[in-house]
Amino acid sequence: MIVPGCSANESDWCIPVVRNIMAGLAGRHDLVVYTPHYPFRRSTYTLFGATVHCLSDRKEHGVRRLLLWRELLERVRRDHAAAPFSLVHSFWATETGFLGARAARRIGVPLVVTIGGGELACYPRENYGAQLSVVQRTFVRTSFRCAAAITAGSAWVAGRVPAEFQPRVHRLPLGVDTEMFVPMPIRGGARLLVVSSMIPLKDHNTVLHAFAEVRRVRADATLEMTGEGFERERIEASVRALGLAGCVRFLGEVPHDRMPALYRDADRLLHASLYESQGMAILEALATGLPVIASDVGVAAELPSDLVHRFDPGNADAMAAAILRSLADGTHARACAEGGPEAVARGYSLAGMFDSFDRLYNQVAR
């Protein structure tokens, strides 16, 4: 497995979904993980029974990055010679996908690539997406061309894979830990929660303008925002300009293992992202029974409308209307309390994901 970053230890939630995947797959397979970046501690260590090779002490650039890639590929070759691999699995389809393609071709095994970020995105105004860069586009195309299988966390993003690679695409959602995110009581208030990094793609501007409209009708509504990012100062300025300073609270980075408590205390999750390959926060919220109002992208686009009240990305009026419709009575809250945990357990659980990966591995490794 080749990943952009790997937990340094069991309590490190650097990329929660990768950590969970490692923990589950290591119990089913002889798993070796290579990371060219985080935890930026050049070493070999064991995590959840998997062997992890971190090949860098810092973020490398230029020639040093090329040397890092060469070292990683040589390490894969040597390890394969000592104990042959059945396949290579890369998360995601950018740098790590490119390295996976090179590694798989070098040692003669199949490649599985998982789409997990902005590989297919192109948002110039927000400066987001691999398709904005010739180099990143090359990484993605090479990953797809060399892959025996491409997994996508939602039908929405799977449909954006170029037609020539569609026969290799498998909708395979990344799973939620349903032992961590457990059902909670029906929500009855107007405490709204946003869970996202503070970058332009997440469209906090639409959230704030929608919230300002909601406050005209529901003066009891409050808004809490988790996450950090270079947009935070601009978002704080917008809060002040809209006269919302008294009812918006910034929570900063929240450790992953504290997220269940945040979902428990909230009454609605708001999600306004312009693009999502999947949307883990939406699924985590639903696993606890928390009602969701979300832009019609990623996994939100395929979930039942009684669980997720959707709106067109960037449309603050439509988002405000969806929030007010959700708060108008207990219909949305009851539907999510009763159906949210069941929907996640049925289609987006860790166990289901591991079983799906096992079936795919057996298929491509024949």
Nearest CA to 264 among 189, 197, 328? 189
Place domain 191-347 in its CATH homologous superfamily.
Answer: Glycogen Phosphorylase B; (3.40.50.2000)
Place domain 16-175+349-364 in its CATH homologous superfamily.
Answer: Glycogen Phosphorylase B; (3.40.50.2000)
Average pLDDT per run of 10 along the chain, which is 366 residues long?
A: 96 94 95 97 96 95 96 98 98 98 98 97 98 98 98 98 98 97 95 98 98 98 98 98 97 96 97 98 98 98 98 98 97 98 98 97 91
Q: Taking the chain, what is the end-to-end CA distance rounded to the nearest angstrom?
A: 18
Overall pTM surpassing 0.75 (yes/no): yes
The per-residue pLDDT for 366 is: 74
Tokens matching residue 353: 């994901």
Structural domain boundaries of the chain? 16-175+349-364, 191-347
Give the integer Cα–Cα distance in Å for 154 and 226. Answer: 24
The per-residue pLDDT for 301 is: 98
The reply to whether 191-347 shares the fold of 16-175+349-364 is: yes
The per-residue pLDDT for 283 is: 98
Tokens matching residue 196: 């996202």
Those residues with Cβ within 8 angstroms of residue 251's Cβ, 6 or more apart along the chain or in another chain = 224, 225, 226, 262
The per-residue pLDDT for 106 is: 97
Query: Which tens digits make up the pLDDT trace of 142-174?
Result: 999 999 999 999 999 999 999 999 999 999 999
The DSSP result for 123-183, as a single string, is BTTTTB-GGG-HHHHHHHHHHHHH-SEEEESSHHHHTTS-GGGGGGEEE-PPPB-TTTS--
Instruction: Provide the pairing of β-strand 43-47 with 50-54.
Output: antiparallel
